[in-house]
Amino acid sequence: MDRRSLVDRIVRARGLAFAAALAALATPAAAAAATAPADPQPPSARLASVATLIDDASVYPTPAAGKALATARAYTEWTGSRTVLLIAASKRDSEGRLWLKLLLPKRPNGSAGWVRATKARISTTTVRVEVSVRARKLRLRVAGKSVLTTRVVVGKRSTPTPRGNFAIYERVQSPQGANVGPFALALTAFSDVLQNYDGGRGQVAIHGRSGSLLADPLGSAASHGCIRLRNSTLKRLAQFTSQGTPVLIANGWPR
């Protein structure tokens, strides 16, 4: 039995309180998740709440008001995994029902909408990824503490890396021999310049580098908007992060 299965059995048998004490037995990404409070708060440098959709959900401009803007799908388009979205805010309506404001994987960047909390499982993460475009570096933080800082390749002037608050949307395995490394961490971010790129929708990702991409040194601005780093560092990053992990991209480091 693997460690995740062990934790799941303990949750069913003895309750969440005892399971939380054994979280250190899980992988770094799993250990970051915990039971969220009833009313999730906006993301901070130390804690963020995420929503795993259990069904397709209608997205509204405000809680329980207006016509639905869109539908948030329960499964991602590339890998078919469960959709996990960052919770930007929460609110209760006049009848006491909880609503979640979710950061959506769509244009324009920063798009968000409200869904009923009954459509999702809520959990928390202490993991956060920060990218300084000016410094051309990526920093991984856990519970507010920096655990990894590395140089990266960011977007060139004509195709800049978009700035804003985003999240990891899904992990996409690369084809054998691809120059983007073993896999890509697709974000809820899209290029502000490219509507389509390489058969996709211009979605920005954190990915590795091999083949022709090795010609662009780490610490340079040479990509089409994606964030490139060493393959070994990408694998390390993936050990801590998961779908819904907040990713802040800014000119400089956040205060």
| pLDDT at residue 37 in the model | 54
Structure tokens at 203: 């979605």
Q: What angle do CA 80, 126, 24 make, to 5 degrees?
A: 90
d(CA 175, CA 205): 16
Higher pLDDT, 31 or 221: 221
Q: Could you check whether the bond before residue 108 is cis, i.e. omega within 30 degrees of 0?
A: yes
| pLDDT at residue 24 in the model | 38
Cβ neighbours, 10 Å, residue 136? 17
Structure tokens at 116: 């009923």
Q: Is the pLDDT of residue 58 over 80?
A: yes
| pLDDT at residue 11 in the model | 33
Structure tokens at 10: 């303990």
Q: Is the pLDDT of residue 171 over 90?
A: yes
pTM of the model: 0.84
* Confidence grade of residue 2 (pLDDT, cut at 50, 70, 90): very low
Q: Is the pLDDT of residue 199 over 70?
A: no
Domain boundaries, the chain: 1-30, 31-125, 127-250
Lowest mean pLDDT among 35-39, 64-68, 157-161, 193-197: 35-39
According to the CATH classification, is domain 31-125 in 2.30.30? yes
Q: Is the pLDDT of residue 90 over 90?
A: yes
- What is the per-residue pLDDT across 109-154, written as a single tens digit (0 to 9) for each? 999 999 999 999 999 999 999 999 999 999 999 999 999 999 999 9
According to the CATH classification, is domain 127-250 in 2.60.40.1180? no
Q: Is the pLDDT of residue 173 over 70?
A: yes
| pLDDT at residue 198 in the model | 66
